Structure 1
Amino acid sequence: MSTPPSPHAAERSDATPVRIGALVPLTRPGWVEAGQHLLAGIELAVQECNGAGGIDGKPLELLVRDTAADPRRATAAVDELARLGVAAVAGEYHSVVARAAASRADALGLPFLCSSAVLDALTEEPTDWVARLPPPQSHGWRIYADFLLGAGHSRIAVAAEPSVYWAAGTGILREYLAPRGATVVGLDMRALTPAAVCDELVRHRATALLLLVGHPEPAVPLVRAVRHDPRLTGILVGAPAGQPEFATWATSLGADGTAVPFLRYLPERLSPLGRRVEAALRGRLGEAPSFVAFEGYDTIAVLADVLRSSGGDRARTAAYWPRVAVEGTRGRIRFSRTPGDSVWQCARTPVQVVDREPADPGRFRILHTG
């Protein structure tokens, strides 16, 4: 799929377009709604870039590839996009898929800006070819753990499916919470039904259950089972990975899906740019944009700035990450490296713990910031 440059940009210049590859999950088993929001933000920013003259008079052309949450498919897409001559690759929501794409981009010498995936070890070895907008998983999930402790939870159960991402999240929580007097009990969703999870929560006297599982299955039946078990009245149900962010969560669960805290990467108040982009994204999506849509917009804002400075040369693009200073929808975007980081990391990304308000599931409450 290719998004052509705007007609106005094409009229101004016959120059060969500057191509960017975009990786997004648009079919299942990928999280399609997240992919749609990510792509909406990317496409809006491309349209605005071309309306303002493109990259030094050259139109920006977007080549979209559906990863369907499949690492092998993402790797093949990076290979194809490299052959097509893209100046850079961007996008992806699923962490395991982004890791595969980042590793392949690194091997090919192709700049990759990760839009929305948080797994700490995005590449095995340090690389200058890869940069990332969202904070590492360890940063966000520690903020979530602080929220749990502040709310008085010290017996926490984690219902998890097998995944590198979920396993990493469980490890972060255990490592952070244990020295602070809290315990984390793992519940294997390969072996337990929702009813059996309820029995385990009672047996372990858990006060909080975290959903490290996919949506809608098994998240929706699991939430319903817990919410309607009289033994578990008052237990906190949380979803740090952000499943309740999207409208399908509220549609699927109604009142049962409220008061489920999750991580969101937005400031308490959007800047004027953020408010303008929010209105434009709402028009494209027909609903309130998620933080993932803002990540998509900011991705292109960064790449447009980098490509103007590098002239589209891949090596010069990769060398420019530490000099980025771009006004994004959620604040100033800069990249830095600290010991242990394998990629260039956006600094000071805002982090919130929020939930859907029980009295109005369409509204979000900010519970904690970090």
Structure 2
Amino acid sequence: MNSRPSSTEARTNESAVRIGALVPLTRPGWIEAGRHLLAGLELAVREVNDAGGIAGQALELLVRDTAADPQKAAAAVDELDRLGVVALTGEYHSVVARAAAAKADALGLPFLCSSAVLDALTEQPTSWVARIAPAQSHGWRIYADFLLRAGHHRIAVATQPSVYWASGARILREQLAPHGGDVIEFDMTALTPAALCDALVEHRATALLLLVGHPEPAVPIVKAVRHDPRLAGILIGAPAGQPEFAEWATLLGDDGAAIPFLRYLPQQLGPLATHVEATLREQLGEAPSFVAFEGYDTIVVLAAALRSHGVDRARIADNWAHVAVEGTRGQIRFSRTPGINVWQWAWPPVQIVDRDPAQPHDFRILHPD
């Protein structure tokens, strides 16, 4: 991976309109998600500049690696603030985005979050933060309804300690319980994949949801369950989207197919999305994930805001409600949504898809938006 500009190098283009980008580019961050997110951000920046920039000024992206570390992200926000960025973008991991949002709010720095879905992105209502991705509660309720329609009422979740995973388990439980659904949690810090298989049999679970990191321990869990004859009929699900990326199919092959997950794309791509998909496919050497489209749409929104309201941070933050721009996945508008403390696009399209067992590198849409 090419190295990113240092702080000193980032100062060379003093006339540029600078935007900070927070992206997981090293472990333990999800590198593949970070690579796709950054590809979308960078493509949109190139296209903005090819079209004349912002009032004749180039748009410059200052990229900082968060490595899925909230403290590192907060320090990066401080640095980018000192470098004079007019706004922040990016971040994939919810707990990291939450740290970045808190710091941006404290500094008075607009932050348009690209991919993190945790409902509680900030503790208090703020005008400084907006979000492209749907809130976790929105997508995961759709996923819970999908499970119920498929006849699943005894649902196991393999979890790891995390605000994000705990929030997901709570959303599932609240959505399933009124319909007779039962959620049984298994802490994967205390169980091996083999012990989890024994517990699934004991509790007669018909579905297992992976509320855990990738590739560890998600990949060994999938392998253990797939190769346990006692669990031949169990559905494995991954609402957080682990199977979206090519690494999933590379590591699991046929075992990684038929695992439904949430994906934030429309059923049919329009002209802009088709163009972006083709360009990013060539750039990445593989099909772009929905995360790449989120990155692209983030810059589309910020460029529109900058053209309409200038580079003053406060004016950007004061005008989220007036944004109306066509992105790759529909018209993007922000509103105040009950239970969400940031300006929210309500909502991007939501699909439930899986990898086709006949061809694990292809996807099947199980539930369109």
What is aligned with 1:20? Answer: 19
Do residues 150 (structure 1) and 164 (structure 2) align? no
Q: CA deviation at 1:364?
A: 0.5
- For residue 345 of structure 1, give the secondary structure of its aligned residue in structure 2: strand
Q: How many matched pairs?
A: 361
Q: Which residue of 2 aligns with 1:140?
A: 139
Q: Distance in 1 between the 2:267 and 2:239 partners?
A: 18
- Give the conservation status (yes or no) of the 8 Å contact 1:15–1:58: no
Instruction: Write the deviation string for residues 297-329 of structure 1: whole angstroms up to 9, x where unpaired.
Output: 000000000011221100000011000111100
The change in CA–CA distance for 1:178 and 1:120 in structure 2 (over 3 A counts) is same
Match of 2:302 in 1: 303
Distance 1:76 1:100 in 2: 10
* Aligned equivalents of 1:340, 1:259: Cα separation in 2: 33
- Residues 128-156 of structure 1: CA deviation (Å, up to 9, x unaligned): 00000011000000000011001000000
Alignment match, 1:6? none
Is contact 2:121-2:342 (8 Å) kept?
A: yes
Which residue number in structure 2 is paired with residue 285 of structure 1?
284
> Equivalent residue for 1:197?
196
C-alpha contact 2:245 2:289 (8 A) present in aligned 1: yes
Structure 2 CA distance, aligned partners of 1:348 and 1:31?
A: 25
Unaligned ranges ≥5, structure 1: 4-9
SS at structure 2 position matched to 1:234: coil
Match of 1:7 in 2: none
Corresponding residue of 1:221 = 220
Match of 1:107 in 2: 106
Q: Which one-letter code corresponds to 1:66 in the other structure? A: D
What is the alpha-carbon distance in structure 2 between the residues aligned to residue 89 and residue 135 of structure 1? 18
1:179-194 to 2 correspondences below 5 Å:
179-194=178-193
3-state SS of 1:172 partner: helix
- Report the Cα distance in structure 2 between the residues aligned to 1:363 and 1:224, rounded to whole angstroms: 20
Ranges of 4+ aligned residues in structure 1 off by more than 4 Å: none
Distance 2:341 2:213 in 1: 27
Q: Does the 8 A contact of 1:2 with 1:62 survive in 2?
A: no
State the identity %: 75
Q: Which runs of 5+ in 2 are unaligned?
A: 7-11
CA contact (8 A) 2:165 2:211 kept: yes
- Secondary structure of 2:166 counterpart: helix
Q: Which residue of 1 aligns with 2:366?
A: 367
Cα drift, residue 280 of structure 1 = 0.3
Deviation at 1:290, TM superposition (A): 0.1
Deviation at 1:15, TM superposition (A): 7.6
Aligned to 2:325: 326
Q: Which residue of 1 aligns with 2:84?
A: 85
Q: Quick one: distance in 1 between partners of 2:89 and 2:55?
A: 20
TM-score (norm 2): 0.96
SS at match of 1:287: coil
Distance (Å, rounded) in 2 between the aligned partners of 1:189 and 1:15: 50
TM-score with structure 1 setting the length: 0.96
Alignment of 1:42-121 (within 5 A): 42-121=41-120
Q: Distance in 2 between matches of 1:136 and 1:62?
A: 26
Task: Determine helix, strand or coil for the equivalent of 1:30.
Answer: coil
Supply the distance in 1 between the matched residues of 2:115 and 2:73 (Cα, whole angstroms): 15
Task: Give the secondary-structure state (helix, strand or coil) at the position aligned to 2:62.
Answer: strand
Q: Following the alignment from structure 1 to structure 2, what is the Cα–Cα distance between the partners of residues 307 and 135?
A: 23
Alignment of 1:353 with 2:334, yes or no, is: no
Deviations 1:172-202 (A, max 9, x none): 0011101110100000001000000000000
Are the counterparts in 2 of residues 211 and 238 from structure 1 also a CA contact under 8 Å?
yes
CA deviations over 1:228-280 (Å, ceiling 9, x no partner):
00100110000000000000000000000000000000000011000000000
TM superposition shift of 1:348: 2.5
Corresponding residue SS for 2:319: helix
In the TM superposition, what is the alpha-carbon distance from 1:2 to its structure 2 partner? 3.6
Q: More displaced, 41-50 or 302-311?
A: 302-311
- The one-letter code sitting in structure 2 at the alignment partner of 1:212 is L
CA contact (8 A) 1:2 1:63 kept: yes
- Could you say what secondary structure the match of 2:20 adopts? strand
Separation in 1, partners of 2:254, 2:266: 26
